[in-house]
Amino acid sequence: MRKSIPEILVEDGFITKGDRDEIEQQSAKTGISFIKIALSFGYISRKNYERSLINVGYNYAPIREEEFDPEVLSKIDIHFAHDRVAMPLRIQDGKVITIMANPDDELFVDFIRFTYDLEPEIIIASDLDIIWLSHKLLGEKEIKSAVFELLKRDPDSSAIVTFTTPQLVFIFVLLAIVTIGLVVSFKNTSITINVLISSFFLVAIIFKLFLALVGSRFELHQAVTREELKLVDDNELPIYTILLPVYKEDKLIKKLIWNLQAIDYPKHQLDIKLLIEEDDDKTLNAVRNLDFPAVFDVIVVPFHMPKTKPKACNYGLHFSRGKYLTIYDAEDIPDTDQLKKVVTLFGKLPEEYVCVQSALNYFNRNENFLTRMFTLEYSYWFDYMLPGLDTLDIPIPLGGTSNHFKLAELVDLGAWDPFNVTEDADLGVRAYAKNHKIAIINSTTYEEANNEPFNWIRQRSRWIKGYMQSYLVHMRNPVALWKRIGWKGFLGFSFFIGATPVTFLVYPLLLAIFICYVVFDLSTIRSLFPDWVLFMSIFNLMVGNILMIYVNMMAVFKRRYYELILFAIANPIYWLMHSISAYKGLYQLIVKPFYWEKTNHGLSKVNNPTNIVK
Amino acid sequence: MRISKSLYLLFITIILAVYYLVCGIYLNGLGNYNQESLFYIEKTKIVFEGVGNRLKVMGLTSPIIPFYATFAFNLISVTLAPVLASALGTAVLFYIIASTVVKRLVDDFYMWILLALFLFHPGIIYTACSGKGIYLILIFFFLFFLNLFKFYRSNTTFHISIASLCLVILIFCDYRFVWLTLFFLPLVLAITIHSLNLGEQESVFRLFMSFNSPSLRRKLVNKTFSLYIILFALPLVAVLCYKLLNLTHASDLNYFNESPYATWNVLVDKLSFDALSTNTNYKIPEVSLLISARVLLFCPMIIIAVFLYRESTYQMLTILTPFALIEFLHIKYDKVFVPYQYYLMFVILAYLCVILKSHTVRKPGSLKIALVICVVIQIYFGGYYLYSSSITEEQNFVNVLFRRTEDETEEDNINVAQYLSSLPGDSKVLVDDATSYPIVAFVHDIKPLIMPYEDAFLSALESPDKYVDYILVATSRNAVTGYTQLNNKYLPLMKKTNSQIDFRKVFETRDWVVYRIVPR
């Protein structure tokens, strides 16, 4: 009698008997096939599994080009195929041609027999190829849902339309008024514009300083204390989904596994989904070639425009099993106790809290000027600004990763907008508008700071474009927004999301005028603007810059990055880089609003700490 | 309970504000003015009523914050604006201190002490009714130290940042406070050493250990530097920027501090110097080492404060910092008398320390008795110091306050101003407000006056016959005659350079003469 695959694996020494029992228990409990659990929960590497199969005479067949019959496919659900790592393709010679990763899967064989009333003809294939093919062929409904669900349910919140007609009318009317003003009275119009812009600049920065001060007041506040964490019972922890959207991140897969393995959470309660795009063979092959066990479930996102991270995440949602869900980037190193802390915090918070945002910071902060500036910026953003917003009950623009959701509520909200390139910030405001709340937690995820200027500008241009998109989306009906989120929320949203791109856009103009005035002493500027306007503008610009530098300086204290404090002085230069990105973002907003500027990761030469335990 | 207490507090503050307003307006009615408030009145008139290049006046008048604070009250009365500002400002100071007390202490005794000080301390009444910017100095001095002490306890960036912002404002209320940064250098080091995670408790040994371990040394240097930066970067950069603005707009980095057109201090210091150098009776109390002793006599409560903090090195150092400042100021500005506000700040600091630390005292009864005695002494010496002050206007104030007689100090200036106001509508008058700002402050309409902020001033100075009809000239008896070109040497010079003009004296007081220009 032929031995079963689990027995072979035990015999080959790749898993222990204890492992086998554990896997079988899990399989019975979740309905996921034995081999999927073995390959996705860190029991066996794909290479070893292939070795065992070869030893008993099985060879992987290339299946990507196999013919398929839509009629046959229509009788199987993607979830079932995904969980069993198997799918029927067509009927040939009175048999159902079936691809399987584990030929012993009796449940699936029985499914074929009962569904098609025929015997299966099994082709053994790599689980990754089966997943790739199953999602490509069966995932159409889910991918359509990932792209269009929000648009169908809540079209006003979708960024598929960048500028609405009233917004275009407003913009062009404003431009016309300014042009007419300049023609009729150049001097007065220039004065008005100058005063408005420079005052706006100052107010926006003072608002940031105010937020940072409010946030800094609570810098010692621990949302979840060590003592509370000690009381957590591992047996009562819910299933936690981690979505890992990646695109061409082949170099980071090994690091990713090390980081995920360090997370302090029961293995079987973790539901980690690696979301790989259909055309991303690089990452898929990197997973295939791992010579140690993976700890994630691969999901292949079928091709569909727009090719954005939120679309991939929305797709991943269809396969998520957790009560809670979070997103990490491939290079992220979360604090090991982060998930437990979040579960504890959700347990403490009232029902209306649907999301918890962790702080983000960088592990390669001392690599170069850019990484230092980036660290300063993130430190004040996550350590001071967001707690400030939280305290004042103003909508929090979520960070790109490490935001933890209640899965059911996230789905209820319509999940992420695939047409928005800062879907996280947009979701924060959308959640707030629907009377949900977001909390901040005392846990940090360390990321890789962008250390290359052009890569930095690409990333930043996407963020700023996304802020513009989000602002346009939510300001389609300002009165309704005001009513929904209140005056505080409205002003906070306008100054935080709306003002950010505007300040970056006007900053170089103000700086240029200032330099012309001070350095070149241009008489035209003096004759154009009356003294009080010049005084006010210079005051605004100088005070604005000083305060912004100061806010950056504050950032070093909580994290004790004292060595970075002087770099805050370079903030005006850093802002100029923001301005370049803002103009790029503005250009893209007009010509290709959904284009996702990919940030290259893995450029850092700094070895990230393998495990950060607090 | 808390709400009713807050309302109660607000009610007391309003009553106090009314009390100060009544006193201030009454004293103002008796003719009590001082150089600072007259200077603000004059500059405010230029800003709101003047013609020509007002940017310099608007931006570089110093100290800028007390100057701007009077703006809000111009709608009521330009002449009363500084008094209104100081009266309400002092009430605000009371509210800020009192609300700190309410938040920290349940015992109403401390509130009564505070109320006694604010009602009866002549120095506080001087702050409230003089129209000077002392109230702002005291407010931000209090907030600066309050936040520093809070920082020592909480160790959060918030308090140190707020302290830094308060220091910025304090410096722009009185530039001399910039020297405070100097004395915080050792203090910041002490704070850092204290915050290092070391087993050793004794500060000196902690310092020794920190210097001898490379990693601790690096940490110590980085943290000390960062703390220093976060506390003093804003004030120092703000001063630097302000100086740059002075350079670009007045071609002088220290214009705001050294030009009599920008600040009232220049002339007052000069007068103070004259008084010092010509006085035959040497003023013993102003001998350097005695300043601190004078402070102790003026504010014995500070001894209680030092006693309360005797076990905390850097808190003690913090209390001693203002002593270092006042001694330093006395050495640096040795030609001038120490103004009253530098004594007054100790009253505020001592009270702050007491309210922060009183809950730790084992025998509150004894403390209360000591405090009552201190308050009585402080009120007595508050009046005595004003009365015996070497600064004339401080003496004037207390004389008018206690005797309620007319103050005639500004009478001459008012007479000249009335004469200038009575001139025919189209007459132009050449006036140098570096010295004559007390006159300009009383003039009804400043448009006929040609002053240095206007482009035409220099031309008018060169050929007065073409630009003006009258000239206001300082007599040789005027104490500040050397600070203006329009003095008794100007007329002979003009006659010499231009034989076609002559000057006819039309109005004269002890310090000023108004000449009418007549063709020869």
* pLDDT, tens digit (0-9, with 9 covering 90-100), for B65-87: 999 999 889 888 888 999 999 99
The 8-class DSSP code of residue A247 comes to S
pLDDT in tens, A443-492: 888 888 888 888 889 888 988 988 898 898 888 888 888 888 888 888 88
Question: Which residue in B59, B54, B30, B75 sits closest to B403, CA to CA?
Answer: B30
Evaluate if residue B200 carries a pLDDT over 70.
Answer: no
Q: Is the Cβ pair B158, A217 closer than 8 Å?
A: yes
**pLDDT value, residue A611:** 41
**DSSP class per residue in B369-411:** HHHHHHHHHHHHHHHHHHHT-SSHHHHHHHHHHHH-PPP-TTH
**pLDDT value, residue B339:** 87
Q: Is the Cβ pair B230, A542 closer than 8 Å?
A: no
pLDDT in tens, B393-451: 888 888 888 887 887 888 888 999 999 999 887 889 999 988 899 999 999 888 889 99
Exposure of A245 by Cβ count < 10 A (0-12 exposed, 13-18 middle, 19+ buried)? buried
**B residues 130-149 lying closer than 8 A (beta carbon) to A:** none
Evaluate if residue A34 carries a pLDDT over 60.
Answer: yes
Q: Are residues B455 and B385 in the same domain?
A: no
- Across A518-532, B78-92, B200-214, B216-230, the highest mean pLDDT is recorded for B78-92
**Strand-pair partners of A327:** A243
Collapsed DSSP state (helix, strand, coil) of residue A353: strand
A220, closest residue in chain B (CA to CA):
B156
Q: Are residues B415 and B399 in the same domain?
A: no
SS (H, E, C) B178-227: HHHHHHHHHHHHHHHHHHCCCCCCCHHHHHHHHHHCHHHHHHHHHHHHHH
**pLDDT value, residue B132:** 92
**pLDDT value, residue A605:** 64
Chain B closest-CA separation from residue A213 CA (Å): 6
Last residue of a domain, one of B403, B437, B457: B403
In chain A, what are the domain boundaries?
5-138, 226-447
Q: Which chain A residues touch B219 with a CB distance below 8 Å?
A: 562
- Write down the mean pLDDT value for chain A: 84
Q: Is the Cβ pair B156, A217 closer than 8 Å?
A: yes
Q: Which chain A residues touch B248 with a CB distance below 8 Å?
A: 518
Q: Is the Cβ pair A531, B54 closer than 8 Å?
A: yes
pLDDT in tens, A338-379: 898 999 998 888 888 889 888 888 888 888 888 888 888 888
Evaluate if residue A423 carries a pLDDT over 50.
Answer: yes
Question: Which residue in B112, B448, B434 sits closest to B258, CA to CA?
Answer: B434
Which CATH topology does A5-138 take?
A: GMP Synthetase; Chain A, domain 3 (3.30.300)
Q: Which chain A residues touch B220 with a CB distance below 8 Å?
A: none
Q: How far apart are CA A563 and CA A460, in angstroms?
A: 25
**Strand-pair partners of B505:** B515
Q: Is the Cβ pair A535, B59 closer than 8 Å?
A: yes
Under 8 Å between Cβ of A33 and A102? yes
pLDDT in tens, B267-320: 888 777 776 666 655 554 466 567 888 899 999 999 999 999 888 877 888 899
**pLDDT value, residue B137:** 95
CA distances from A351 to A135, A439, A612 (A): 35, 12, 31
Overall number of domains in chain B: 2
B247, closest residue in chain A (CA to CA):
A518
Collapsed DSSP state (helix, strand, coil) of residue A522: coil
Q: Is the Cβ pair A535, B55 closer than 8 Å?
A: yes
Q: Is the Cβ pair B157, A562 closer than 8 Å?
A: no
Partner residue facing A553 (CB), from B53, B58, B233: B233
**pLDDT value, residue A614:** 40
Q: Is the Cβ pair A554, B245 closer than 8 Å?
A: no
Chain A closest-CA separation from residue B214 CA (Å): 15
Mutate to test the interface with B, among A376, A384, A554, A565 (most CBs of B within 10 A): A565
H helical segments located in B71-179: 81-104, 109-120, 122-129, 134-154, 157-173
Q: Which chain A residues touch B154 with a CB distance below 8 Å?
A: 220
Q: How far apart are CA B316 and CA B309, in angstroms?
A: 6
Q: Which chain A residues touch B48 with a CB distance below 8 Å?
A: none
Q: Are residues B381 and B337 in the same domain?
A: yes
Under 8 Å between Cβ of B75 and B82? no
Q: Are residues B199 and B78 in the same domain?
A: yes
pLDDT in tens, B443-478: 988 888 999 988 888 888 888 888 889 999 998 888
- Across A131-140, A202-211, B89-98, the highest mean pLDDT is recorded for B89-98
Q: What confidence tier does A545 reach under pLDDT thresholds 50, 70, 90? A: confident
pLDDT in tens, B368-394: 999 999 999 999 999 988 888 888 888
Partner residue facing A553 (CB), from B158, B222, B230: B230
| CB half-sphere exposure, B381, CA atoms < 13 A | 19
Q: Are residues B351 and B439 in the same domain?
A: no
Partner residue facing A213 (CB), from B55, B158, B234: B158
Under 8 Å between Cβ of A563 and A571? no
Across B148-167, average pLDDT = 87
Q: Are residues B461 and B363 in the same domain?
A: no
Contact B59/A at CB under 8 A: yes
Across A223-245, average pLDDT = 86
Q: Is the Cβ pair B223, A562 closer than 8 Å?
A: yes
Q: How far apart are CA B214 and CA A601, in angstroms?
A: 35
Chain B closest-CA separation from residue A528 CA (Å): 14
Domain ranges, residue B509: 411-519
Q: Encode B466-496: b = buried (16+ Cβ within 10 Å), e = exposed.
A: ebbbbbbbbeeebebbebbebbeebbeebee
Q: What confidence tier does B1 reach under pLDDT thresholds 50, 70, 90? A: very low
Evaluate if residue A313 carries a pLDDT over 80.
Answer: yes
**pLDDT value, residue B138:** 95
**B residues 307-366 lying closer than 8 A (beta carbon) to A:** none
Radius of gyration of chain A (CA): 27
Chain A closest-CA separation from residue B102 CA (Å): 20
Chain A closest-CA separation from residue B264 CA (Å): 22
The CATH class of A226-447 is alpha beta
Across A125-141, average pLDDT = 86
CA B162 to chain centre: 21
Q: Are residues B304 and B332 in the same domain?
A: yes
Partner residue facing B238 (CB), from A213, A217, A546: A546
Task: Provide the whole-model pTM.
Answer: 0.80
Q: What confidence tier does A40 reach under pLDDT thresholds 50, 70, 90? A: confident
Q: Which chain A residues touch B156 with a CB distance below 8 Å?
A: 216-217, 219-220
Last residue of a domain, one of B384, B403, B422: B403
Residue type, A593: P
Structural tokens at position B328: 């330093």
Q: Which chain B residues touch A571 with a CB distance below 8 Å?
A: none
Any residues with CB less than 8 A from the CB of A2 and at least 6 apart, and which? A56
- φ, ψ of residue A274 to 5 degrees: the values are -95, 115
Contact B220/A at CB under 8 A: no
Q: Are residues B356 and B442 in the same domain?
A: no
**B residues 232-291 lying closer than 8 A (beta carbon) to A:** 233-234, 237-238, 241, 245, 248
CA distances from B304 to A153, B139, B353, B358, B371 (A): 70, 22, 9, 10, 8
Chain B closest-CA separation from residue A207 CA (Å): 15
ipTM of the complex in this document = 0.74
**pLDDT value, residue A13:** 82
**pLDDT value, residue A563:** 82
| C-alpha angle B344-B346-B348 in degrees, rounded to nearest 5 | 80
Chain A closest-CA separation from residue B326 CA (Å): 29
Under 8 Å between Cβ of A342 and A587? no
Q: Is the Cβ pair B158, A562 closer than 8 Å?
A: no
Under 8 Å between Cβ of B378 and B299? yes
Q: Are residues B311 and B169 in the same domain?
A: yes
Q: Is the Cβ pair A565, B55 closer than 8 Å?
A: no
SS (H, E, C) A295-334: CCEEEEECCCCCCCHHHHHHHHHCCCCCCEEEECCCCCEE
Between A201 and B70, the more confident residue is B70
Evaluate if residue B19 carries a pLDDT over 70.
Answer: yes
Evaluate if residue B170 carries a pLDDT over 90.
Answer: yes
Last residue of a domain, one of B403, B431, B448: B403
- In percent, the amount of chain A with pLDDT more than 70 equals 96
Which residue shows structure tokens 């005028």?
Answer: A513
Q: Are residues B232 and B93 in the same domain?
A: yes
Q: Are residues B386 and B514 in the same domain?
A: no
Under 8 Å between Cβ of A423 and A469? no
Kindly list the residues of chain A whose beta carbon comes within 8 Å of any beta carbon in chain B. Answer: 213, 216-217, 219-220, 384, 518, 531-532, 534-535, 538-539, 542, 546, 549-550, 553-554, 556-558, 560, 562-563, 565-566
Partner residue facing A557 (CB), from B157, B162, B238: B157
**pLDDT value, residue B411:** 86
Q: Are residues B105 and B140 in the same domain?
A: yes
**Alpha-carbon torsion angle A514, A520, A521, A525, nearest 10:** -60
Any residues with CB less than 8 A from the CB of A422 and at least 6 apart, and which? A397, A400, A462, A463, A465, A466, A467, A469, A470
Q: Is the Cβ pair A220, B155 closer than 8 Å?
A: yes
